[in-house]
């Protein structure tokens, strides 16, 4: 590894103990991947913001105590909980205390308290070709694929090191040659009507992740007018079923406008077809219950955008959520402010929908709620739900979630023909 003078100074501790430790860790990472040098990044997004284990809190506190300061603008992924509405969320004292410790450590190092897994919906959006260090699988997939920025899938803790040093090893998806597609996935016989049901995007994403694994794949025959919210939900599901850090949607995403360039002029190593039957099967595999009475509708995985809130508001109209159901939506503080200002938040509250910020739907304090079955429009949530929350889960479109919430019984509009 060739280090610049500044990097060498960090390694010898000239810029403090935190920079030294961070640089040693990144140097080790670089040598595992045979990186030749470090490259500068313009910003970082830290994933280790949920309280999972004490080691995460201790590492952040140690770096802060050693004088660590983020040298590039650094945003935060969600906390485990809504840090502002923790009473409403019935957060146990210990979880609140651990979350506060993480908050203090990151604030001390200079983080921007965004607390969102959709940093691409915030103000600090990287542009095409920008080298960044982001953690959180859906954010990484979106940054690389939709924005054309360049980041590896940074594991917890290495993202903190990158934020402190302002550099990362030149490896993986930072390099042009590693961003070319190798697998071609083709959608076949998917009708226009099927694409009108928004659940199709996370279901195709789930299949895409299973097929691609850790290889770069491109998908053909997606609608050319696919929205950024649909790309978001596709990418989040893909990055949950496979190690997908970059996907290409032919004719849509910036590095896939030309199929030949996308594959670097080479034929695909493998071609796979996705059919309507495979989509039906994916929905069946993700539906982990026969329960027809979900008691929780949970949206915002990844965090909801202003457009998604507006759609829910239009779908529900003046109707109210059935008393047997809790309807929760998670978002960022910034989006929360925007929907508050526009009046959408007040209307949703009067419909009986609660909106939380900061937190992650998978991390809600299970011990203080007695839910048994959740419905969600998120393929990522459905994929992880049972293993992380022990709740049974029904994946459904946002429209089906709203109709179910109002009636109190499953009302699915999905039909794949
Ligand atoms: Fe975000 Fe939590 Fe889903 S971090 S993508 S809401 S699992």
* Same domain, yes or no: 156 and 197: no
Query: Strand 270-274 to strand 296-299: parallel, antiparallel, or no bridges (unpaired)?
Result: unpaired
Residue nearest to atom 6 of ligand 1 (CA): 301
* Same domain, yes or no: 154 and 27: yes
Chunk the chain into consecutive blocks of 10 residues (it has 417) and report each block's average pLDDT, rounded to whole numbers.
96 97 98 97 96 94 98 98 96 97 98 98 95 98 98 95 98 98 98 94 98 98 98 98 98 97 97 97 93 94 98 98 98 98 98 98 94 97 93 96 96 80
Last residue of a domain, one of 233, 253, 284: 284
Asked whether residue 413 is domain-assigned, the answer is: no
* Same domain, yes or no: 153 and 224: no
* Same domain, yes or no: 91 and 147: yes
Q: 26 is in which domain, residue-wise?
A: 5-175
CA of 384, closest atom in ligand 1: 7
The residue behind tokens 């195709």 is: 204
- Do residues 284 and 367 touch, judged by C-beta distance below 8 A? no
Q: What is the pLDDT of residue 87?
A: 96
Does residue 302 line the site of ligand 1, with CB under 6 A?
yes
Q: How far is the CA of 34 from the centre of ligand 1 (A)?
A: 32
CA of 117, closest atom in ligand 1: 1
Q: How far is the CA of 266 from the centre of ligand 1 (A)?
A: 36
- Do residues 161 and 22 touch, judged by C-beta distance below 8 A? yes
Q: What is the pLDDT of residue 414?
A: 81
Asked whether residue 237 is domain-assigned, the answer is: yes
Asked whether residue 414 is domain-assigned, the answer is: no
- Write out pLDDT tens, residues 109-159: 999 999 999 999 988 999 999 999 999 999 999 999 999 999 999 999 999
Q: How far is the CA of 409 from the centre of ligand 1 (A)?
A: 26
For residue 126, give the CATH number of its domain: 3.30.499.10
* Same domain, yes or no: 142 and 265: no
Asked whether residue 193 is domain-assigned, the answer is: yes
* Same domain, yes or no: 238 and 292: no
Asked whether residue 417 is domain-assigned, the answer is: no
Last residue of a domain, one of 133, 150, 175: 175
* Same domain, yes or no: 376 and 296: yes
Does residue 380 line the site of ligand 1, with CB under 6 A?
yes
Q: How far is the CA of 140 from the centre of ligand 1 (A)?
A: 13
* Same domain, yes or no: 213 and 273: yes
Q: What is the pLDDT of residue 292?
A: 84
Q: What is the pLDDT of residue 289?
A: 85
The number of distinct structural domains making up the chain is 3
* Same domain, yes or no: 165 and 214: no
Asked whether residue 100 is domain-assigned, the answer is: yes
Residue nearest to atom 1 of ligand 1 (CA): 302
Q: What is the pLDDT of residue 53?
A: 92
Asked whether residue 415 is domain-assigned, the answer is: no
* Same domain, yes or no: 167 and 240: no
* Same domain, yes or no: 23 and 151: yes
* Same domain, yes or no: 235 and 92: no
Last residue of a domain, one of 261, 284, 307: 284
Asked whether residue 112 is domain-assigned, the answer is: yes
């Amino acid at each position: 590894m060739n280090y610049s003078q500044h990097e060498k100074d960090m390694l010898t501790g000239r810029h403090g103990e935190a920079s030294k430790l961070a640089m040693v860790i990144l140097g080790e990472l670089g040598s595992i991947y045979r990186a030749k040098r470090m490259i500068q990044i313009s910003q970082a997004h830290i994933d280790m913001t949920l309280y999972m284990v004490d080691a995460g809190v201790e590492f952040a506190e140690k770096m802060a105590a050693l004088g660590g300061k983020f040298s590039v603008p650094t945003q935060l992924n969600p906390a485990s909980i809504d840090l502002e509405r923790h009473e409403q969320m019935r957060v146990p004292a210990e979880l609140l205390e651990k979350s506060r410790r993480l908050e203090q450590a990151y604030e001390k190092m200079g983080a921007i308290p965004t607390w969102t897994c959709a940093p691409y919906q915030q103000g600090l959006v990287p542009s095409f070709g920008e080298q960044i260090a982001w953690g959180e699988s859906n954010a990484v997939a979106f940054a690389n694929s939709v924005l054309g920025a360049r980041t590896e899938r940074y594991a917890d803790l290495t993202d903190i090191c990158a934020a402190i040093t302002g550099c990362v090893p030149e490896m993986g998806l930072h390099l042009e040659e590693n961003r070319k597609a190798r697998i071609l996935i083709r959608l076949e016989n998917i009708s226009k009507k099927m694409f009108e049901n928004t659940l199709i995007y996370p279901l195709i994403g789930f299949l895409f992740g299973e097929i691609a694994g850790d290889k770069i794949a491109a998908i053909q025959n997606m609608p050319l007018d696919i929205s950024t919210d649909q790309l978001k939900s596709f990418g989040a599901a893909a990055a949950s079923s496979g190690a997908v850090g970059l996907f290409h949607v032919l004719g849509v995403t910036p590095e896939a406008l030309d199929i030949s360039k996308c594959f670097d002029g080479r034929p695909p190593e493998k071609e796979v077809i996705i059919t309507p039957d495979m989509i039906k099967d994916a929905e069946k595999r993700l539906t982990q219950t026969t329960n027809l009475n979900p008691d929780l509708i949970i949206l915002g995985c990844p965090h909801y955008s202003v457009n998604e809130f507006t759609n829910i508001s239009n779908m529900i109209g003046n109707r109210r959520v059935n008393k047997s159901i809790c309807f929760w939506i998670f978002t960022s503080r910034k989006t929360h402010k925007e929907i508050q200002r526009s009046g959408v938040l007040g209307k949703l509250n009067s419909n009986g929908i609660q909106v939380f910020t900061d937190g992650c739907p998978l991390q809600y304090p299970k011990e203080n709620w007695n839910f048994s079955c959740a419905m969600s429009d998120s393929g990522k949530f459905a994929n992880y739900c049972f293993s992380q929350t022990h709740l049974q889960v029904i994946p459904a479109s946002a429209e089906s979630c709203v109709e179910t919430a109002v009636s109190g019984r499953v009302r699915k509009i999905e039909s794949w023909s």
